Amino acid sequence: MLLPLFVSISQSSKKGGGMRSLGKSVLCSVLFCFIAGVAYGDDFDIFAGQQGMLKIAGGTAHIPVMKEVAELIMTSNPEIRITIAGGGTGVGIKQVWEGLVDIGNAGRLATDEEIAAHKLFMVKWAIDGVGVVVNPKNRVTDLTGQQLQDIFSGRIDNWREVGGEDRPINLYDRDASSGTREVFWQEALKRSEVAKKANVVVSNGAMKTAVAGDPYGIGYVSVGHIDATVAPVALDGVAPSLANVKKGSYGVARGLYSLTKGEPAGLAKAFLEFLLSPTGQKIAMDKGFISVQ
């Protein structure tokens, strides 16, 4: 695919002065990409000589990382086919012990019974932490778990009640298929109901934009996404920072696990090793997760 591009650029660079400099800069960037690709190449070595089909199913939070990793692997080695399906953690664990898939993804630790009964092997390759965020202008920087539940259920609907200005609270929520919401709903809201009047946004990015633009808004994003545009809110005194999530002191987090039946072998083993390699971990971080390395 690179070659025709290369040729067309070198042709166009013959045409004249303006084109030539443009052609050169494009050429340089193309070459740069190529070199960058080579530099990353090491982590793909484990797939050399591998071939066949790898089936993956389970947790939806894993899918963005899985998709990108699969695409990279299939591009570097066309002999390998990887299919990825969702279904949720339950489906992931069930299908891997039934032998329907090679790798099952889970957003929680498999129970001891599950592991013992089916000889499951588990790899934790990233951590997903979710932090509450408000607008930087907001005075509120600390909430208790109970206050948070009351805010999201609509029982507390004014910032005054939690030490802020006398303004109504605007809730921002994610759609039900969001992995971020799942963590937040289970670990922070303890599965309590979210008020129906909550605004719903489509992504971590959209959540940041919404809260950054709304001085009276409150929402939640994956910890990896928190930056200066929004202010993190400490939950029961613990700030949602990467360090706190890694230490395990910030509770609204979960590991992202991949399971195989028995010791992983062949393609599945290579895939899991790749997830834990620097390239795999970088992809996980790009998707807003926290590296386990």
* Of positions 88, 107, 232, 240, contacts another protein by CB under 8 A: 88
Q: CB nearer to another protein: give 100 or 265.
A: 100
* Of positions 99, 136, 168, 262, contacts another protein by CB under 8 A: 168
* Region near another protein per CB under 8 A, out of 93-101, 141-149, 200-208, 272-280: 200-208
State which amino acid sits at residue 141.
T
What is the radius of gyration, based on Cα positions, of the chain?
23
Rule CB under 8 A: say whether 193 interacts with another protein.
Answer: yes
Q: CB nearer to another protein: give 163 or 213.
A: 213
Residues 73-94 as b/e (b if ≥16 CB within 10 A, e otherwise) read: beebeeebebebbbbbbebbbb
Tell the smallest beta-carbon distance from residue 87 to another protein (Å): 5
Distance (Å) of CA 259 to CA 10, 30, 87, 153, 235: 49, 38, 15, 35, 31
Classify residue 109 by its DSSP letter. P
Binding characters for another protein, 43-62, by CB under 8 A (x = yes): -----------------x--
The CB-side HSE value for 90 (13 A sphere, CA atoms) comes to 0
Rule CB under 8 A: say whether 90 interacts with another protein.
Answer: no
Task: State how far Cα 62 lies from the chain centre.
Answer: 7
* Of positions 65, 80, 132, 201, contacts another protein by CB under 8 A: 201
d(CA 229, CA 176): 25
Task: Tell me which residues touch another protein (CB under 8 A).
Answer: 60, 85-88, 91, 168, 170, 172, 175-178, 185, 191, 193-194, 196-202, 209-210, 213-214, 216-217
